[in-house]
Amino acid sequence: MPPILQRLQQATKMMSRRKILLLVLGCSTLSLLIHQGAQLSWYPRLFPLSCPPLQDSPPRPKHMTVAFLKTHKTAGTTVQNILFRFAERHNLTVALPHPRCEHQFCYPRNFSAHFVHPATRPPHVLASHLRFDRAELEGLMPPGTVYVTILREPAAMFESLFTYYNQYCPAFRRVPNASLEAFCAPQGY
C-alpha cells in the first residue's frame, strides 16, 4: 500500500477516535449538568436549558408516549437509556421484547405487536431495536405518540458497522485481515 494511503488511513482512524471521544465527553457533560444541575446554585443562570415563556402562551404538557426507532451504530443506546430513565421517573410502562425475541423485537423480522411482552402492554415508551412497521406500531402505541429516530452519515455508519460486525457477519468475516479497503475494492475479495 502506498505510504500516502497509509497515512490517510491512519488519519481517518484518528479522526474517528477523536469524534467518538468528543461524543462521549459531550454526552457525559450534558448528563452531569442535567442530573447535578438542580444542586448547583449557579446552574440556571449559566446554563438555561429552555427559552423564556412566550407571552400569552399556556405551558404545553410533556409528551408521555414516545416510540424511539433505534438504529444500529448511531448512539441509540444512549438515547434509549435516557428514555428508560424518563419512563422510570414518570412511572411509565416501557415496551419490552417477548423472551423469544431476546433483547430486540425479533429483529430483523418486521415488527409485530406480538413481539411485545404482554406484561408491558399497553406501553408508553418503546425504545429497542425493531424493523419499522407503521401499522403495527400505530396499533400498539397510544394516539399522540411521538416517533423519533437518529440518522447518521451513511459512510461513517457503514465503517462503524463493518468494524463492529466483522466477527459475526459471514460476508464481513471472509474479508482478508478484516480490511474495509479489501471489502470495498472493485475486484472483490
> Which H helix or E strand runs over 68?
strand 66-69
Paired residues of 78 in beta bridges? none
Q: Looking at the predicted structure, is the pLDDT value of residue 5 above 80?
A: no
Q: In what order do the strands lie in the sheet with 66-69?
A: 94-95, 125-126, 66-69, 146-149
In the chain, domain spans: 66-148, 154-181
Rounded to a whole number of angstroms, the distance between the first and last alpha carbons of the chain is: 16
What confidence tens digit (pLDDT) does each residue in 126-171 have?
A: 999 888 999 999 999 999 999 999 999 999 888 888 888 888 888 8
Q: Which residues pair with 131 in a beta bridge?
A: 110
Print burial letters for 134-149: b (CB count within 10 Å at least 16), e (below 16). Answer: eebbeebbeeebeeee
pTM of this prediction exceeds 0.85:
no
